[in-house]
Amino acid sequence: MSLPALPDIFGNYALGDFNEVVSPPAIDWLPQTPGWALIGLLLLAVVARKGWHRLQHWYRNRYRREARQRLQQLAGTDALVVEVNRLLKLAALAAFGREQAARLSGYEWTGFLNSRCEQAPFDSSLSELLALGVYTGQPVDQATGQRLLQASLTWIELHKNRFDD
């Protein structure tokens, strides 16, 4: 069984002479002139260079992140002064190299630490504690320990290393 044939005029007879509007082709998103390609390449180069510098900065300052994390774990430790001094020495070796930081001890060491920040984080009592406390081995009270940890964290964050401009 087949369907009957459709008449010539099917549907609305008023639209018989109506021609449907054809939409234009889609606009191409690629730039049509070489100037835009050049601007795109320059922009890509600037973004790549900026990203490379940020990656280098992040990589060069990984010692700061690790030292900050280890210092925060030292609160309440018995040998606080020794551990803080050891971490500061490791951070200084990473930041300034063995030639500048390895040989320092005592007041020369604390002077070196204070000279690497715009504002010295270690006052005279903390400097004396860092310079001599390692050798005396005396325990420190909790308030002084907190001040030492805070000053050490400040130094870790604010010192200028050999990579800084």
3-state SS track over the chain = CCCCCCCCCCCCHHHCCCCCCCCCCCCCCCCCCHHHHHHHHHHHHHHHHHHHHHHHHHHHCHHHHHHHHHHHCCCCCCCHHHHHHHHHHHHHHHHHCHHHHCCCCHHHHHHHHHHCCCCCCCCHHHHHHHHHHHHHCCCCCHHHHHHHHHHHHHHHHHCCCCCCC
Parent domain of 147:
63-158
| Within a domain: 1 | no
Supply the pTM of this predicted model: 0.71
Q: Total domain count for the chain?
A: 1
Is pLDDT larger for residue 83 or for residue 12? 83
Q: How confident is the model over 114-139, as pLDDT tens digits?
A: 998 888 899 988 988 888 888 887 77
